[in-house]
Structure 1
Amino acid sequence: MRGRLTAGTMLAALLMNVTLAGCGAALPDGADGQLADDWAPVAEVKAVVPEAGTCLDTRPTPSGSSWDKAVPCISSHYSEIAHVGTFTGDTEPSPAQLAAAYAECDTRSAAYLGRPWWQARLQVHISIPMTRAWEGGARWFRCDLVQVESANWDDTWVARTGSLKGAVPADLLVSCGSAVAKGEFIDSMTEVPCATAHNSEYIGFFRAPLTTPYPKSDRQWTALYRQCSELAAGYVGVSKTQWYKLPTVAWLAYPEAWAAGDRRVRCTVYFGTKKIKKTVKGSKGNGVPYF
């Protein structure tokens, strides 16, 4: 390890050198022999805060930097900042604060897009300052919009061009899908137009309460399916009692994001081996398999 002088020692050495060099010589007019008393005070350093509407050529990460590379939105990019919020307090955000930040991101990104982000092949990722930036006073959180290859997977981010503000392209909207089951789980779901043969349809989204554990037992999964069924009932226009006859699929945030406070759940109706060529929205169950 290389040694170095502290700032105070360096200043003392400089003052001594100046004194020795000027020994026996008169000071110039206007000089008082004090080097530091005329220096302007150094301004307080403030954390740089990201700005909404900025596009970033970076993939989403839990900890962001105000120096993440910004690019024009007409250029290829991965993220677009829909909103920048602020944490309060001196300690790094707790799961409860993160959950509140996610809720704020949901609301503000919908205003930014002109519609809820979860109606499209988009995700909202929250990014907070790195530890050193937090210790330096940064308290912002970023709501980053990211396009994904499929609405049902978390890590298939797609580089895009153009801003999403106020206008989500129609080809990004999520509707029907061709789902392949593997045991009790859906192994894959390819999005297709509702006019083509399909066995699933996206019907809504909710955020589970912060106290909800990542599901492992049948009972925990059933609690999420129940909420999906309630969304499905309103989407199709039938009673909740009727809708429980039809399976639903709950797509959760990946476990790491869930643990960090992201409790997002997408809901899809599933017809199993049956296929239809229309949307079930507002159908009141007419022509829907199992009704």
Structure 2
Amino acid sequence: MADRARSSRIATAVALLATLLLVVTACSEPTPRPAPGADPTQVDAVEAPRLGACRRLELDDVAAPTNATKVVGCSSKHTAETYAVGDLPAELRDAAYDSAEVGRFAYDTCDAGLRKFLGADDSQSMRTVLSWAWFRPSEKAWDDGARWYRCDVIGGGEQSAALVSLPRTARGILSGRPDDRWVACVKGPSVADSAKIPCTQPHDWRAVTTIKLGEAADPYPGDRLSEVQSRDFCKKSVQAYLDYPPQFQFGFTWFHEAEWKAGNRRSVCWAKTNE
């Protein structure tokens, strides 16, 4: 009886120890390591990033809500440059981390800021391979009170095969007549679903002009009217761009209600040309 009682006590102690080890293990999971190329001091930083910093971002980085990629010298190879940094307005301090209101503020701020930074008008900003990405603090930093945003100009966009390298600074590079390195072209049978490429690369289509479909306060005109107005304007505009040839091909990129609500009021006209 004594041996059985001692064995029972030992078994119970072993079971309790195993349970304790499971609890301790569960409560002491290792802290996730920063992504490759990340600066550990930036990962959960509460302080806002540095304005004017350059980084070597990849397409996957652009899709993430936060970014801690190491800063590199702007005279070295880079694909992103921070052109706007700031704190969210007071009315958004209590917003959820992924709230639509925060996203809309970032869209308006980064979009308008990019045009000013590049020296572009509304039409040029839609006919370039340059675009922007915005980042917020990590969720941990957000919980610690961080409320900053960061806008980066990048050499590419969602449909790009890869981001292209930027000059030492992208400030003012769309002023006047921009270099073909920054003008959007497309290679393929049509412009639909094709990735923008710099016009310095072999191409079939060039973005030559845009049409404004309404003012900021106007309601969305509807899919059919937007498409027809874009088609009719682009046909005349591309014909004039090509110096009125008897035969020519043109394309147009028009947008829908979601883009209208986000602030876009323009469609893009494309000319079939390899020049």
Q: Does the TM-score normalized on the shorter chain lie above 0.5?
A: yes
Find the counterpart in structure 2 of residue 173 from structure 1: 182
Task: Verify the 8 A CA contact 2:230 2:254 in the aligned structure 1.
Answer: no
2:267 partner letter: C
When the two structures are superposed, what TM-score results if normalisation uses the length of structure 2?
0.56
- Cα RMSD between the aligned structures? 4.8
Q: For residues 135 and 212 of structure 2, what CA distance do their matches in structure 1 show?
A: 21
2:128 partner letter: A
1:167 aligned counterpart, secondary structure: coil
Give the greater-gyration-radius structure (CA): 1
When the two structures are superposed, what TM-score results if normalisation uses the length of structure 1?
0.53
Structure with more helix by fraction: 2
Query: Gaps spanning 5+ residues in structure 2: where?
Result: 1-23, 28-44, 241-248
Kindly provide the CA deviation profile for residues 127-167 of structure 1, in whole angstroms up to 9, marking residues without a partner as x. 1222111111111111111102xx78245322345211233
Structure with more strand by fraction: 1
Deviation of residue 57 (structure 1)?
2.2
Identity, % of aligned positions: 20
Find the counterpart in structure 2 of residue 225 from structure 1: 227
Find the counterpart in structure 1 of residue 105 from structure 2: 100
Find the counterpart in structure 2 of residue 127 from structure 1: 135
Task: Verify the 8 A CA contact 1:57 1:76 in the aligned structure 2.
Answer: yes
Deviation of residue 188 (structure 1)?
6.4
Q: Residue 251 and residue 122 in structure 1: after superposition, are their counterparts in 2 closer, same or farther (change >3 A)?
A: farther
1:162 partner letter: R
1:53 partner letter: G
Q: For residues 239 and 73 of structure 2, what CA distance do their matches in structure 1 show?
A: 44
1:143-162 matched pairs, under 5 angstroms: 143-148=151-156, 153-162=159-168
Find the counterpart in structure 2 of residue 78 from structure 1: 79
Q: Residue 141 and residue 233 in structure 1: after superposition, are their counterparts in 2 closer, same or farther (change >3 A)?
A: farther
Task: Verify the 8 A CA contact 1:47 1:137 in the aligned structure 2.
Answer: yes
Q: For residues 207 and 91 of structure 1, what CA distance do their matches in structure 2 show?
A: 33
Task: Verify the 8 A CA contact 2:186 2:197 in the aligned structure 1.
Answer: yes
Q: For residues 202 and 112 of structure 1, what CA distance do their matches in structure 2 show?
A: 21
Find the counterpart in structure 2 of residue 57 from structure 1: 56
Q: For residues 177 and 223 of structure 1, what CA distance do their matches in structure 2 show?
A: 25
1:189-228 matched pairs, under 5 angstroms: 192=199, 201-204=207-210, 221-222=223-224, 224-225=226-227, 228=230
Task: Verify the 8 A CA contact 1:55 1:81 in the aligned structure 2.
Answer: yes
Q: For residues 104 and 227 of structure 1, what CA distance do their matches in structure 2 show?
A: 29
Match of 2:169 among 148, 152, 163: 163
Find the counterpart in structure 2 of residue 287 from structure 1: none
1:129 aligned counterpart, secondary structure: coil
Find the counterpart in structure 1 of residue 119 from structure 2: 114
Deviation of residue 83 (structure 1)?
0.7
Aligned length: 211
Task: Verify the 8 A CA contact 2:185 2:198 in the aligned structure 1.
Answer: yes
More displaced, 138-147 or 220-229?
Answer: 220-229
Query: Gaps spanning 5+ residues in structure 1: where?
Result: 5-45, 214-218, 239-245, 279-291
Task: Verify the 8 A CA contact 1:124 1:144 in the aligned structure 2.
Answer: yes
1:234-245 matched pairs, under 5 angstroms: none
Task: Verify the 8 A CA contact 2:136 2:150 in the aligned structure 1.
Answer: yes
Q: For residues 264 and 155 of structure 1, what CA distance do their matches in structure 2 show?
A: 24
2:179 partner letter: A
